[in-house]
Structures are given as structure tokens and as C-alpha cells.
């Protein structure tokens, strides 16, 4: 038995030795050693490279994690998104002024990511606090809807703020435009003058109109596109008046003067309307905040005195 065991071990060792000799003859270990040496040389060269070069070679967290995540979410989101939803998101981005980094694909990806993240977090929250099935279902549904609509809410707020800024800047911009045209400038030159000497989203819109006209778009089409990109009634009325004046040959200065006067009248009426709403809006804090404190300050000492007087008799 011992001899058989020795022979078996020797045979196995001989097999492994022959395999090692064959691999060495073929050059496998030399190739592996050369591969290891190449890898070590690459690592040494990378460590000795300047920081600027290492930044170019080393992908950022955004390239390694966020971009693939958004791409995967975009693929799933497009399958779950209706066909006309793409155009609605594009219009919302136009109204919001196309915030930097925000595209239709990015919004669709964020909607799906927000939905999934809110659903998972709400589910974990419900499991940690041991809620029942009905409260857990309600919390998960509400959180998922909030996560799904969060990008839309952000775009709505951006568009609302931008609309208010355009509405506020309209009278002064039209006054400057009217003065520029009456001083002898053409409409395009006057529009460029207003875009250069004012700030805000309205100046950016005027500059975009000029850029579209420079690339070959007609004045009427560029102005109509300006009206479609905003939800400001005054700006839409101004665009309609300018398009009609351009088509019918009406003097631009006269139309601008009338438009400036109407817009200033509308701003004054809007301010008066807001002033009339103050009396109604102040009732809520007056009833629930100011009057209770006033009653406590005025009637509190009297109530304490009455209580002490009756308690002494008793």
C-alpha cells in the first residue's frame, strides 16, 4: 500500500511537472511576466504624470456613476413616458429659460430616478416605524408622486419667476425701445441697443430674436417664436402688434408708443389690484396670530385677578 501511494504521488507530481515544462516552453509565463511588467510600468508612469494629465486620464464621479445612471434611467423613462410628453417638457424648458444642464432627456431621467428613490425611501421609512399596510401604501404612493413630479415643479417655479421678471421689465424696455426708434435707429438696431443696455431674461429674449434673424429667420417668425416661448400676455400683445405693423407697413415708432403706454397702464392696474388684495390677505394672520396675542395681553391679567378673587372666597 505504501509503495502504491508513493507511485501515485510521484505520477501526479510528474504530470504537473510536465505541464509546467510545456507551458514554459510555449512562453505562457514569459507573456504573463511581460504583462505584469507592462502593468507595473503603466502604473509607475501614471503616478509620475503631472496632476493635469492625471485629471484627464481619471474619469470623474459624474462620468463613472451619474452619467450611466441617467442613461439607464432615460432608457426606462422613455418606455414609460407618453409620446407627446417629450414636447410638453420642451415647452416647459423654453418657458423656464432652458436652465443650464437641463434637457428633455435629463428631465425624463430625473423623473424616473425621483420616482424610484422616493418609493424606496418611503418604503424603508414605513418599515422602520412599523406602519400598517394602508398607511404604508398611502405614504409610498404620495412620496412616489412627489418624486415623479419634482422636476416639473422645479421647472414651473423657474418659469414663474422668469415670467414675473419679464413682466416687470417690459415697460422700461419698451420705453427704451421707443426712444431708440424715435431717435432714428431701425427696429433691429434699437432691439440690439435694448438687449445690450438691459439685464434679465427679457434682454436675453431680445438677443435671441436678433440671433435668429441673423441666421436667416424672418422678423415676423422670430417675433412669433418669442411670443411662443413666454407666458406673458403683455409680451404676446407686443409681438402681435409688431408682426401686424411689419406686415401692413405701419410706422414702428407709433406702434411702440401705443404699446408702451398700454403696458404702463396695465402695470399700474396690476399694482392697484395687488393693493386691493392686501386687506383680504391680512385677515388670516390677523385672526390667527395677532388677535389671540392681543387678547392674552389685555385680558390675561384681568382673568388672573378674577381667578384669584374667586379662589380666595372659596
Residue-wise pLDDT tens digits, 95-119? 888 888 888 888 888 888 888 888 8
pLDDT at position 46 is 47
In the numeric block, which cell numbers belong to residue 65? 456613476
Q: Give the separation between CA 83 and CA 104, rounded to whole angstroms.
A: 13
Please indicate, yes or no, whether residues 79 and 154 belong to a single structural domain of this protein.
yes
Please indicate, yes or no, whether residues 140 and 175 belong to a single structural domain of this protein.
no
- 162 CB-near residues (< 8 Å, 6+ apart): 95, 96, 97, 201
Please indicate, yes or no, whether residues 247 and 185 belong to a single structural domain of this protein.
yes
Domain termination residue (choose one: 235, 252, 267): 267
Please indicate, yes or no, whether residues 96 and 217 belong to a single structural domain of this protein.
no
pLDDT at position 310 is 77
What is the DSSP secondary structure assignment for residue 296, as one 8-state letter? H
pLDDT at position 225 is 87
With 0-12 CB in 10 A as exposed, 13-18 as middle and 19+ as buried, what is 182? middle
What is the DSSP secondary structure assignment for residue 81, as one 8-state letter? S
Please indicate, yes or no, whether residues 3 and 141 belong to a single structural domain of this protein.
yes
Residue 49 near residue 57, CB atoms below 8 Å = yes
Please indicate, yes or no, whether residues 146 and 177 belong to a single structural domain of this protein.
no
The CATH number given to whatever domain includes residue 247 is 1.20.81
Question: In 3-state terms, what secondary structure has residue 242?
Answer: helix
Please indicate, yes or no, whether residues 7 and 91 belong to a single structural domain of this protein.
yes
Q: Give the separation between CA 310 and CA 121, rounded to whole angstroms.
A: 57
In the numeric block, which cell numbers belong to residue 235? 409680451
> Which of 236, 245, 183, 181 has its CA nearest to residue 205?
236
Domain termination residue (choose one: 146, 163, 180): 163
pLDDT at position 88 is 85
Please indicate, yes or no, whether residues 115 and 219 belong to a single structural domain of this protein.
no
Residue 237 lies in a domain: yes
In the numeric block, which cell numbers belong to residue 109? 431621467
What is the DSSP secondary structure assignment for residue 58, as one 8-state letter? S
| Helical H segments across 67-198, by residue range | 67-80, 85-95, 104-128, 133-182, 187-197
Domain termination residue (choose one: 130, 163, 196): 163
pLDDT at position 6 is 57
pLDDT at position 1 is 47
Q: Give the separation between CA 23 and CA 17, rounded to whole angstroms.
A: 10
Q: pTM score, two decimals?
A: 0.66
pLDDT at position 101 is 80
Residue carrying the nine cell digits 414651473: 156
Please indicate, yes or no, whether residues 17 and 143 belong to a single structural domain of this protein.
yes
Q: Give the separation between CA 80 and CA 73, rounded to whole angstroms.
A: 11
Please indicate, yes or no, whether residues 143 and 10 belong to a single structural domain of this protein.
yes
Residues of the chain with pLDDT under 70: 1-84, 312-314
Please indicate, yes or no, whether residues 110 and 169 belong to a single structural domain of this protein.
no
Domain count for the chain, please give it.
2
Please say whether the dihedral angle defined by the alpha carbons of residues 112, 113, 118 and 121, taken in this order, is positive or negative: positive
| Largest separation between any pair of C-alpha atoms in the chain | 119
pLDDT at position 84 is 66
Q: Tell me the HSE value of 62 on the side-chain side, using a 13 A CA sphere.
A: 1
Residue 45 lies in a domain: no
pLDDT at position 45 is 53
**Residues of the domain holding 257:** 165-267
Residue 95 near residue 162, CB atoms below 8 Å = yes
**pLDDT tens readout for residues 252-286:** 888 888 888 888 888 888 888 888 888 888 888 88
pLDDT at position 96 is 86
Amino acid at each position: 500500500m505504501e509503495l502504491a501511494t508513493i507511485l501515485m504521488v510521484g505520477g501526479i507530481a510528474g504530470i504537473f511537472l510536465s505541464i509546467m515544462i510545456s507551458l514554459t516552453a510555449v512562453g505562457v509565463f514569459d507573456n504573463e511576466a511581460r504583462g505584469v511588467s507592462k502593468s507595473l510600468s503603466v502604473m509607475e508612469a501614471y503616478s509620475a504624470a503631472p496632476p493635469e494629465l492625471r485629471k484627464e486620464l481619471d474619469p470623474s464621479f459624474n462620468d463613472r456613476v451619474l452619467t450611466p445612471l441617467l442613461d439607464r434611467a432615460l432608457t426606462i423613462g422613455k418606455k414609460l413616458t407618453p409620446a407627446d410628453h417629450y414636447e410638453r417638457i420642451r415647452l416647459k424648458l423654453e418657458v423656464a429659460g432652458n436652465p443650464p444642464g437641463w434637457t428633455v432627456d435629463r428631465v425624463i431621467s430625473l423623473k424616473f430616478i425621483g420616482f424610484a428613490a422616493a418609493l424606496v425611501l418611503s418604503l424603508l421609512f414605513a418599515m422602520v416605524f412599523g406602519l400598517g399596510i394602508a398607511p404604508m401604501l398611502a405614504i409610498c404612493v404620495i412620496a412616489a408622486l412627489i418624486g415623479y413630479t419634482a422636476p416639473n415643479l422645479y421647472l414651473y417655479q423657474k418659469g414663474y419667476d422668469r415670467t414675473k421678471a419679464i413682466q416687470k421689465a417690459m415697460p422700461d424696455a419698451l420705453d427704451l425701445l421707443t426712444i431708440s426708434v424715435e431717435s432714428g435707429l431701425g427696429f433691429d438696431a434699437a432691439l440690439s441697443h435694448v438687449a445690450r443696455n438691459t439685464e434679465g431674461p427679457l434682454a436675453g429674449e431680445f438677443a435671441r430674436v436678433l440671433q435668429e434673424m441673423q441666421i436667416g429667420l424672418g422678423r415676423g417668425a422670430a417675433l412669433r417664436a418669442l411670443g411662443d416661448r413666454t407666458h406673458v400676455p403683455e409680451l404676446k400683445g407686443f409681438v402681435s402688434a409688431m408682426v401686424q405693423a411689419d406686415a401692413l407697413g405701419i410706422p414702428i415708432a407709433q406702434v411702440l408708443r401705443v404699446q408702451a403706454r398700454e403696458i404702463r397702464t396695465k402695470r399700474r392696474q396690476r399694482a392697484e389690484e395687488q393693493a386691493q388684495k392686501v386687506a383680504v390677505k391680512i385677515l388670516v394672520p390677523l385672526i390667527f396670530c395677532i388677535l389671540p396675542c392681543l387678547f392674552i395681553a389685555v385680558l390675561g391679567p384681568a382673568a388672573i385677578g378674577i381667578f384669584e378673587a374667586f379662589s380666595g372666597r372659596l
